[in-house]
Amino acid sequence: MADIRTTFAGLPLRNPIIISSSGLTNSAGKNKRLAADGAGAIVLKSLFEEQIMLEAEQLQDPSFYPEGSDYLKEYIREHKLAEYLNLIKESKRDCSIPIIASINCYREAEWIDFARQIEEAGADALEINILALPSEVDYAYGEFEQTHVKILRRVKQNTRIPVIMKLGNNLTNPVALIEQLYAGGAAAVVLFNRFYQPDIDIEKLTHTSGDIFSKPTDLANTLRWIGIASAKVEKIDYAASRGVVTPEAVVKTLLAGAAAVEVCSAIYQNTNAFIGKANDFLSTWMDRHGFTSIAQFKGRLNTKDMQGVNTFERTQFLKYFEKV
Protein backbone atom coordinates (compact mmCIF):
# COMPACT_ATOMS: atom_id res chain seq x y z
CA MET A 1 0.00 0.00 0.00
CA ALA A 2 1.49 3.35 -1.07
CA ASP A 3 2.29 5.87 1.65
CA ILE A 4 1.84 9.35 0.14
CA ARG A 5 3.04 11.30 3.17
CA THR A 6 5.83 13.80 2.58
CA THR A 7 7.81 16.47 4.40
CA PHE A 8 8.02 20.06 3.21
CA ALA A 9 9.91 22.88 4.96
CA GLY A 10 10.22 20.59 7.97
CA LEU A 11 6.45 20.13 8.15
CA PRO A 12 5.01 16.60 7.96
CA LEU A 13 2.23 16.50 5.35
CA ARG A 14 -0.28 13.70 4.89
CA ASN A 15 0.10 14.19 1.11
CA PRO A 16 1.96 16.58 -1.21
CA ILE A 17 -1.06 18.70 -2.23
CA ILE A 18 -0.73 22.23 -0.83
CA ILE A 19 -3.41 24.80 -1.65
CA SER A 20 -1.58 27.94 -2.71
CA SER A 21 -2.27 31.48 -1.57
CA SER A 22 -5.38 32.78 -3.34
CA GLY A 23 -9.02 33.63 -2.89
CA LEU A 24 -9.49 29.93 -2.18
CA THR A 25 -7.80 30.37 1.20
CA ASN A 26 -9.04 33.76 2.41
CA SER A 27 -11.45 32.48 5.08
CA ALA A 28 -11.41 29.88 7.83
CA GLY A 29 -14.59 28.33 6.41
CA LYS A 30 -12.99 27.69 3.01
CA ASN A 31 -9.86 26.34 4.65
CA LYS A 32 -11.87 23.96 6.80
CA ARG A 33 -13.51 22.51 3.67
CA LEU A 34 -10.16 22.21 1.88
CA ALA A 35 -8.76 20.30 4.85
CA ALA A 36 -11.82 18.05 4.99
CA ASP A 37 -11.42 17.34 1.27
CA GLY A 38 -7.89 16.06 1.78
CA ALA A 39 -5.43 18.94 1.33
CA GLY A 40 -1.97 18.33 2.76
CA ALA A 41 -1.44 21.95 3.80
CA ILE A 42 -2.87 25.41 3.14
CA VAL A 43 -1.13 28.68 2.31
CA LEU A 44 -3.33 31.55 3.44
CA LYS A 45 -4.28 34.41 1.11
CA SER A 46 -1.31 36.75 1.01
CA LEU A 47 -1.03 39.95 2.94
CA PHE A 48 0.09 42.44 0.29
CA GLU A 49 2.49 45.18 1.29
CA GLU A 50 1.74 47.10 -1.91
CA GLN A 51 -2.03 46.91 -1.36
CA ILE A 52 -1.75 48.24 2.19
CA MET A 53 0.32 51.19 1.00
CA LEU A 54 -2.07 51.86 -1.92
CA GLU A 55 -5.17 51.88 0.29
CA ALA A 56 -3.52 54.30 2.67
CA GLU A 57 -2.62 56.66 -0.19
CA GLN A 58 -6.14 56.51 -1.69
CA LEU A 59 -7.74 57.48 1.62
CA GLN A 60 -5.23 60.19 2.33
CA ASP A 61 -6.62 63.76 2.41
CA PRO A 62 -4.28 66.34 0.86
CA SER A 63 -5.33 68.78 3.58
CA PHE A 64 -3.98 66.45 6.29
CA TYR A 65 -0.94 67.45 8.21
CA PRO A 66 1.94 65.00 7.72
CA GLU A 67 1.23 63.64 11.20
CA GLY A 68 -2.37 62.94 10.19
CA SER A 69 -1.28 61.05 7.07
CA ASP A 70 1.14 58.97 9.09
CA TYR A 71 -1.61 58.14 11.58
CA LEU A 72 -3.95 57.03 8.77
CA LYS A 73 -1.31 54.79 7.24
CA GLU A 74 -0.56 53.22 10.61
CA TYR A 75 -4.28 52.67 11.31
CA ILE A 76 -4.86 50.90 7.98
CA ARG A 77 -1.73 48.84 8.46
CA GLU A 78 -2.69 47.72 11.95
CA HIS A 79 -6.28 46.96 10.86
CA LYS A 80 -5.10 44.74 7.99
CA LEU A 81 -2.59 42.96 10.19
CA ALA A 82 -5.21 42.32 12.89
CA GLU A 83 -7.56 40.80 10.30
CA TYR A 84 -4.77 38.55 9.08
CA LEU A 85 -3.82 37.36 12.54
CA ASN A 86 -7.45 36.47 13.11
CA LEU A 87 -7.51 34.44 9.87
CA ILE A 88 -4.49 32.47 11.10
CA LYS A 89 -6.05 31.78 14.50
CA GLU A 90 -9.42 30.72 13.08
CA SER A 91 -7.85 28.51 10.41
CA LYS A 92 -5.62 26.81 12.98
CA ARG A 93 -8.66 26.25 15.19
CA ASP A 94 -10.67 24.63 12.37
CA CYS A 95 -7.96 22.69 10.52
CA SER A 96 -5.71 19.84 11.62
CA ILE A 97 -3.24 20.31 8.76
CA PRO A 98 -0.36 22.82 8.56
CA ILE A 99 -1.41 26.43 8.03
CA ILE A 100 1.19 28.54 6.23
CA ALA A 101 0.93 32.33 6.39
CA SER A 102 1.92 34.39 3.36
CA ILE A 103 3.34 37.87 2.89
CA ASN A 104 3.70 39.48 -0.53
CA CYS A 105 6.35 42.16 -0.45
CA TYR A 106 8.62 44.02 -2.83
CA ARG A 107 11.06 45.84 -0.58
CA GLU A 108 12.85 45.52 2.74
CA ALA A 109 9.99 47.17 4.67
CA GLU A 110 9.61 47.74 8.38
CA TRP A 111 6.39 45.77 8.61
CA ILE A 112 8.28 42.53 7.91
CA ASP A 113 8.69 42.61 11.70
CA PHE A 114 5.09 41.36 11.66
CA ALA A 115 6.57 37.87 11.21
CA ARG A 116 6.85 37.48 14.98
CA GLN A 117 3.12 38.11 15.42
CA ILE A 118 2.38 35.59 12.68
CA GLU A 119 4.29 32.99 14.64
CA GLU A 120 2.52 33.91 17.88
CA ALA A 121 -0.85 33.58 16.12
CA GLY A 122 -0.05 29.93 15.46
CA ALA A 123 1.09 29.76 11.82
CA ASP A 124 3.17 26.65 11.14
CA ALA A 125 5.36 28.41 8.56
CA LEU A 126 5.63 31.67 6.63
CA GLU A 127 5.82 31.97 2.85
CA ILE A 128 7.44 35.10 1.44
CA ASN A 129 6.46 36.21 -2.07
CA ILE A 130 8.69 38.79 -3.74
CA LEU A 131 6.89 39.40 -7.00
CA ALA A 132 8.27 42.34 -8.95
CA LEU A 133 9.62 43.25 -12.37
CA PRO A 134 12.78 45.34 -12.07
CA SER A 135 12.63 47.81 -14.95
CA GLU A 136 14.63 50.83 -13.82
CA VAL A 137 17.13 52.20 -16.33
CA ASP A 138 19.77 52.56 -13.62
CA TYR A 139 19.17 49.05 -12.26
CA ALA A 140 22.24 47.37 -10.78
CA TYR A 141 22.61 43.75 -11.88
CA GLY A 142 21.84 41.35 -9.07
CA GLU A 143 19.99 43.92 -6.97
CA PHE A 144 16.64 42.14 -7.31
CA GLU A 145 18.10 38.81 -6.20
CA GLN A 146 19.80 40.44 -3.22
CA THR A 147 16.46 41.93 -2.18
CA HIS A 148 15.28 38.35 -1.60
CA VAL A 149 18.28 37.65 0.61
CA LYS A 150 17.85 40.86 2.61
CA ILE A 151 14.14 40.28 3.22
CA LEU A 152 14.78 36.68 4.25
CA ARG A 153 17.45 37.86 6.68
CA ARG A 154 15.05 40.35 8.26
CA VAL A 155 12.27 37.78 8.58
CA LYS A 156 14.60 35.18 10.12
CA GLN A 157 15.59 37.71 12.77
CA ASN A 158 11.98 37.86 13.91
CA THR A 159 10.64 34.32 13.74
CA ARG A 160 11.61 30.73 14.47
CA ILE A 161 9.01 29.05 12.26
CA PRO A 162 10.12 27.73 8.85
CA VAL A 163 10.39 30.39 6.13
CA ILE A 164 9.51 29.46 2.55
CA MET A 165 10.56 31.67 -0.37
CA LYS A 166 8.23 31.69 -3.38
CA LEU A 167 10.18 32.88 -6.41
CA GLY A 168 9.15 34.43 -9.69
CA ASN A 169 10.52 33.04 -12.94
CA ASN A 170 12.27 36.30 -13.86
CA LEU A 171 15.61 35.36 -12.32
CA THR A 172 18.90 35.15 -14.19
CA ASN A 173 20.08 32.12 -12.23
CA PRO A 174 17.57 30.62 -9.78
CA VAL A 175 20.10 28.04 -8.57
CA ALA A 176 22.59 30.66 -7.36
CA LEU A 177 19.82 32.51 -5.52
CA ILE A 178 18.45 29.31 -3.97
CA GLU A 179 21.93 28.51 -2.66
CA GLN A 180 22.07 31.93 -0.97
CA LEU A 181 18.56 31.52 0.43
CA TYR A 182 19.46 28.14 1.88
CA ALA A 183 22.56 29.66 3.47
CA GLY A 184 20.33 32.42 4.87
CA GLY A 185 18.03 29.94 6.60
CA ALA A 186 15.21 29.34 4.13
CA ALA A 187 13.55 25.97 4.72
CA ALA A 188 12.09 25.64 1.23
CA VAL A 189 11.49 27.38 -2.08
CA VAL A 190 8.48 27.34 -4.39
CA LEU A 191 9.00 27.51 -8.16
CA PHE A 192 7.32 29.61 -9.55
CA ASN A 193 4.98 32.43 -8.66
CA ARG A 194 2.56 33.48 -11.38
CA PHE A 195 2.63 37.06 -12.65
CA TYR A 196 -0.48 38.91 -13.65
CA GLN A 197 -0.92 38.19 -17.37
CA PRO A 198 -1.52 41.40 -19.35
CA ASP A 199 -3.18 41.63 -22.74
CA ILE A 200 -4.42 44.34 -25.11
CA ASP A 201 -7.87 44.71 -26.66
CA ILE A 202 -7.10 45.97 -30.17
CA GLU A 203 -10.70 47.12 -30.83
CA LYS A 204 -11.27 49.03 -27.58
CA LEU A 205 -7.61 50.10 -27.48
CA THR A 206 -7.41 49.24 -23.82
CA HIS A 207 -5.39 47.06 -21.51
CA THR A 208 -7.09 43.89 -20.36
CA SER A 209 -6.28 40.73 -18.43
CA GLY A 210 -4.82 37.71 -20.18
CA ASP A 211 -5.23 34.10 -19.11
CA ILE A 212 -6.18 33.91 -15.45
CA PHE A 213 -5.47 30.23 -14.91
CA SER A 214 -2.29 28.25 -15.22
CA LYS A 215 -2.04 25.88 -18.20
CA PRO A 216 -0.39 22.45 -18.63
CA THR A 217 2.28 24.03 -20.85
CA ASP A 218 3.41 26.16 -17.88
CA LEU A 219 4.74 23.01 -16.23
CA ALA A 220 7.80 22.69 -18.48
CA ASN A 221 9.70 25.61 -16.95
CA THR A 222 8.79 24.45 -13.44
CA LEU A 223 10.09 20.94 -14.17
CA ARG A 224 13.25 22.34 -15.73
CA TRP A 225 14.31 24.41 -12.73
CA ILE A 226 13.23 21.98 -10.03
CA GLY A 227 15.11 19.27 -11.90
CA ILE A 228 18.24 21.42 -12.04
CA ALA A 229 18.06 23.08 -8.62
CA SER A 230 17.16 19.99 -6.60
CA ALA A 231 20.30 18.28 -7.90
CA LYS A 232 22.60 21.21 -7.14
CA VAL A 233 21.13 22.55 -3.88
CA GLU A 234 19.95 19.33 -2.27
CA LYS A 235 19.42 20.27 1.37
CA ILE A 236 16.48 22.61 0.80
CA ASP A 237 12.92 21.46 0.00
CA TYR A 238 11.14 22.34 -3.24
CA ALA A 239 7.48 22.77 -4.11
CA ALA A 240 6.24 23.05 -7.67
CA SER A 241 3.81 25.76 -8.70
CA ARG A 242 2.50 26.80 -12.15
CA GLY A 243 1.30 24.16 -14.56
CA VAL A 244 0.30 21.64 -11.88
CA VAL A 245 -3.23 21.26 -13.22
CA THR A 246 -3.46 17.48 -13.66
CA PRO A 247 -2.80 14.50 -11.36
CA GLU A 248 -0.04 13.39 -13.75
CA ALA A 249 1.72 16.73 -13.20
CA VAL A 250 1.96 15.99 -9.48
CA VAL A 251 3.91 12.80 -10.18
CA LYS A 252 6.16 14.56 -12.71
CA THR A 253 7.18 17.27 -10.26
CA LEU A 254 8.02 14.71 -7.56
CA LEU A 255 10.17 12.79 -10.03
CA ALA A 256 11.94 16.05 -10.89
CA GLY A 257 12.77 16.65 -7.22
CA ALA A 258 9.84 18.43 -5.59
CA ALA A 259 8.59 17.39 -2.15
CA ALA A 260 5.16 18.95 -2.68
CA VAL A 261 3.07 20.97 -5.11
CA GLU A 262 1.10 24.18 -4.69
CA VAL A 263 -2.16 24.16 -6.63
CA CYS A 264 -4.67 26.90 -7.33
CA SER A 265 -5.99 26.87 -10.92
CA ALA A 266 -6.69 23.12 -10.66
CA ILE A 267 -9.03 23.78 -7.73
CA TYR A 268 -10.78 26.72 -9.35
CA GLN A 269 -11.37 24.70 -12.52
CA ASN A 270 -12.15 21.30 -10.97
CA THR A 271 -13.35 22.18 -7.42
CA ASN A 272 -11.89 20.60 -4.28
CA ALA A 273 -12.47 17.22 -5.93
CA PHE A 274 -9.09 17.66 -7.62
CA ILE A 275 -7.36 17.01 -4.30
CA GLY A 276 -8.78 13.52 -3.94
CA LYS A 277 -8.25 12.71 -7.63
CA ALA A 278 -4.61 13.75 -7.48
CA ASN A 279 -3.94 11.77 -4.31
CA ASP A 280 -5.71 8.70 -5.66
CA PHE A 281 -3.74 8.90 -8.90
CA LEU A 282 -0.46 9.27 -7.01
CA SER A 283 -1.23 6.29 -4.80
CA THR A 284 -2.28 4.10 -7.76
CA TRP A 285 0.79 5.13 -9.77
CA MET A 286 3.09 4.28 -6.85
CA ASP A 287 1.47 0.86 -6.45
CA ARG A 288 1.83 0.22 -10.17
CA HIS A 289 5.56 0.98 -10.07
CA GLY A 290 6.28 -0.76 -6.78
CA PHE A 291 6.98 2.37 -4.70
CA THR A 292 5.84 2.38 -1.09
CA SER A 293 6.99 5.91 -0.22
CA ILE A 294 7.58 9.20 -2.04
CA ALA A 295 11.19 9.21 -0.85
CA GLN A 296 11.88 6.19 -3.07
CA PHE A 297 11.37 8.18 -6.27
CA LYS A 298 11.58 11.87 -5.34
CA GLY A 299 14.24 13.44 -7.55
CA ARG A 300 14.78 10.22 -9.49
CA LEU A 301 14.70 12.20 -12.74
CA ASN A 302 16.51 15.35 -11.71
CA THR A 303 19.77 16.32 -13.39
CA LYS A 304 21.93 14.48 -10.85
CA ASP A 305 20.79 11.13 -12.19
CA MET A 306 20.81 12.00 -15.89
CA GLN A 307 23.27 10.46 -18.31
CA GLY A 308 24.35 12.01 -21.58
CA VAL A 309 22.54 15.11 -22.80
CA ASN A 310 20.90 17.05 -19.99
CA THR A 311 17.40 17.67 -21.31
CA PHE A 312 16.54 20.08 -18.49
CA GLU A 313 19.42 22.40 -19.41
CA ARG A 314 19.18 22.00 -23.17
CA THR A 315 17.99 25.22 -24.76
CA GLN A 316 18.36 24.59 -28.50
CA PHE A 317 15.57 23.45 -30.80
CA LEU A 318 17.93 20.95 -32.38
CA LYS A 319 16.44 18.03 -30.48
CA TYR A 320 12.98 18.71 -31.93
CA PHE A 321 14.10 18.84 -35.55
CA GLU A 322 16.98 16.39 -35.72
CA LYS A 323 14.85 13.78 -37.51
CA VAL A 324 13.07 16.16 -39.89
pLDDT given for residue 319 in this prediction: 54
Q: Residues 155-196: pLDDT tens digits?
A: 998 899 999 999 998 888 999 999 999 999 999 999 998 777
81 or 257, higher pLDDT: 257
Q: Residues 91-140: pLDDT tens digits?
A: 999 999 999 999 987 666 666 778 899 999 999 999 999 877 777 788 78
Q: Residues 37-59: pLDDT tens digits?
A: 999 999 999 887 656 655 555 55
pLDDT given for residue 308 in this prediction: 43
Q: State the Cα angle at 253 between 194 and 309, rounded to 5°.
A: 105
Contact 73, 110 (CB under 8 A): no
User: 6-321 — its CATH code?
Assistant: 3.20.20.70
Give the mean model confidence (pLDDT) for residues 24-34: 98
Q: How far is CA 26 from CA 85, 86, 282, in A?
A: 12, 11, 28
Least confident range from 78-82, 131-135, 141-145: namely 131-135
DSSP 201: E
66 or 209, higher pLDDT: 209
pLDDT given for residue 72 in this prediction: 56
321 or 242, higher pLDDT: 242
What gap in Å lies between CA 18 and CA 27, rounded to an integer? 16
pLDDT given for residue 309 in this prediction: 47
pLDDT given for residue 70 in this prediction: 61
Q: Residues 262-320: pLDDT tens digits?
A: 999 999 999 999 999 999 999 999 999 999 999 999 999 998 765 544 667 665 555 55
**Which 3 state secondary structure label does DSSP give 240?**
strand
pLDDT given for residue 48 in this prediction: 72
pLDDT given for residue 92 in this prediction: 98
SS3 assignment for 67-129: HHHHHHHHHHHHHHHHHHHHHHHHHHHHCCCCEEEEEECCCCCHHHHHHHHHHHCCCCEEEEE
Domain ranges of the chain: 6-321
What gap in Å lies between CA 121 and CA 238, rounded to an integer? 25
Give the mean model confidence (pLDDT) for residues 14-41: 97
Q: Residues 223-277: pLDDT tens digits?
A: 999 999 999 999 999 999 999 999 999 999 999 999 999 999 999 999 999 999 9
